[in-house]
Structure 1
C-alpha cells in the first residue's frame, strides 16, 4: 500500500476519456494509482461504470449517485434542476448492484446562486440528497459528496441524518466548518486544481492528515483548467499537501491511501466477482 495512490473521486466514465481510455489507464497505472473510485453524476452513467469495472476489475471501484446538477439535452451543466423524480430510474439500480458499489456518490448540494437561484431549487436538492443518504445508510455504504457554496448545511445535514462515513470532495469551505466535519469523522479530498492558487492552504494546514484523501475529479479540476485532467495527475495534490504540511510526499501518499481504504473498504482489491 505504501507505494500506491488512491484517486478517491474521479469520472473515468466521462465521454472525455472514450477515445484514448487505454492510454489513460496505462498512465494511471504507471503513476502507481492502485484504485479509481469512480463516481457518477446521472443514471445514464451507471452501466458504463460497471462496464469499466468489468474491464479493469483490479482498478475501478464503482459508485452510483445522482448529482445535484443535471445536464439536459446537451445544454449547460445546470440546465435541468434536480427533482426527486430524477431518482426514480436510479432506485432499483442502487439495490440491484449493491454488492459491487463501494459508495453512493457523487451526491450533495450546490447552492451556487446561478445553479440554485430559488429556495425551491435548494429544497429540491435537499430532498434528493437526503433520499440518497438514506439509501447509503440502508446499504451500509459511505457517501462521496459534492458541497459547493453549501459546506455548512451539507455537513449539518449528514450529521442530522446519522451519516458517519463521508468524503467531502474538492472541499472549499471555511476551516472552522471543515473541523466540524472532522469531529463527525468525515474525510476531505483535494484535486490537482488546488495547486493553481494558495486559497486553500490554510484549510489544508488545519485538517489533520488522517482526515485527508487525494482525488483528481478528472476530467475536471486539473493543473491547467483548459486541459483535460486525468488520474495520473494524482501526484500533484500529494506533493502540494506534503509541502503545506511540511511532510514528505511518501508520507502523504501512505496516509491518504490508508484513509481511503478505511473509508471505502470495498475498494481495496476491487473485483467485479462479487
Structure 2
C-alpha cells in the first residue's frame, strides 16, 4: 500500500519556513505526505498561503483563520468580533480556494495550547451553534469532554509532541480512530522544543497513535487519511 498521509494543520506561512519552503515540502512528499492544510494565524498570512497553493496545486491547501490571541508581551489581547470585520472581504474573495476556516477557537490562558483550558466551553459552543463537522487540533482536554465532541461528530488531531505526554495517550486510547486525524502544527510542537518541526514528521504522529492503540501504522495512515478527506472534501480535487 502506498504511503499517503495528510497533515491537517501546519503553518507553512510561518517565518521559520521562509528560507527553505521548497526543500521542506519536498521532504514531506518523500515521507508520503499527500496533502497539507496550510493554516494562518492572522490576515497578513492569507495571500502567502494562497500563493503557496498556486505554486503547489493539489498539495498545499489554504485554510484561513485568525488566532484567538494576537500580539505579544504587554500587547497580547484576545480577538473580538470587531477585530475580524476588516478581514471578512478577504474570506469572501478567496472562498473558492480555501478548504476550511481556522485557526480559530477559545484561548482562556495566554500560555495554553488551544482547548487545553477551554475544551468544554469550546465543544459546548460548537454544539450550540449547530456545527456538524470540525477538527479540534492538538486537543488536550479530558477524555470525557472529547467523547462529547465525538458524539457531536467532531474530529481530533495530534502533533508529534504528544508522544511525550502520557496524559495524551489516555485521550488517544479513548477517541475512536474514525474521529482522529494527523497533524504536525509545524514549525511548532515537534519532539524537541528547540528544533523546527516539519510536515514530514507527520509519521511520528502516525506511529505513536498506532503504538497507543496497538494497531499497525498502516491502519492509522489509511483511516486518518480517509477521515481527513471526509472532513475536508476539497482535498479530493
Q: Do they superpose with TM above 0.5? A: yes
**Other structure's SS at 1:225 match:** coil
Cα deviation code 1:24-56 (max 9, x no counterpart): 011010011011011111111100010000110
- The aligned residue for residue 226 of structure 1 is 194
Structure 1: gaps (5+ residues): 117-144, 270-274
| Match in the other structure for 1:120 | none
Q: What RMSD in Å do the two structures reach over aligned CA positions?
A: 1.8
Q: In structure 2, what is the Cα distance between the partners aligned to 1:76 and 1:222?
A: 24
Which position in structure 2 is the counterpart of 1:261? 229
Q: Which residue of 1 aligns with 2:57?
A: 57
State which of 77, 86, 89 in structure 1 corresponds to 2:86: 89
1:76-125 CA distance string (max 9 Å, x none): 4972332222202220111111111110001001112x469xxxxxxxxx
Distance 1:228 1:24, change over 3 A: same
Counterparts of residues 1-274 of structure 1 (less than 5 Å): 3-71=3-71, 75-76=72-73, 79-112=76-109, 114=110, 146-269=114-237
Residue 77 to residue 250, structure 1, CA distance change in 2 (3 Å): farther
TM-score by length of 2: 0.95
1:24–1:115 Cα change, 3 Å: closer
Report if aligned partners of 2:105, 2:115 keep a CA contact under 8 Å in 1. Answer: yes
Separation in 2, partners of 1:254, 1:76: 42
TM-score computed with the length of structure 1 as normaliser: 0.83
Tell me: CA distance 1:212–1:78, structure 2 relative to 1, closer, same or farther (3 Å).
farther
Change (3 A) 1:76 1:31: farther
Q: Is the CA contact (8 Å cut-off) linking 1:109 and 1:148 kept in structure 2?
A: no
Q: Count the aligned residue pairs.
A: 237
Q: 1:231 to 1:115 in 2, by over 3 A?
A: closer
- In 2: Cα distance, 1:199 partner to 1:216 partner: 18
Unpaired segments ≥5 residues, structure 2: none
1:115 to 1:24, Cα distance in 2 relative to 1, 3 A: closer
Residue 100 to residue 32, structure 1, CA distance change in 2 (3 Å): same
Q: Is the 8 A contact 1:65 1:106 kept in 2?
A: yes
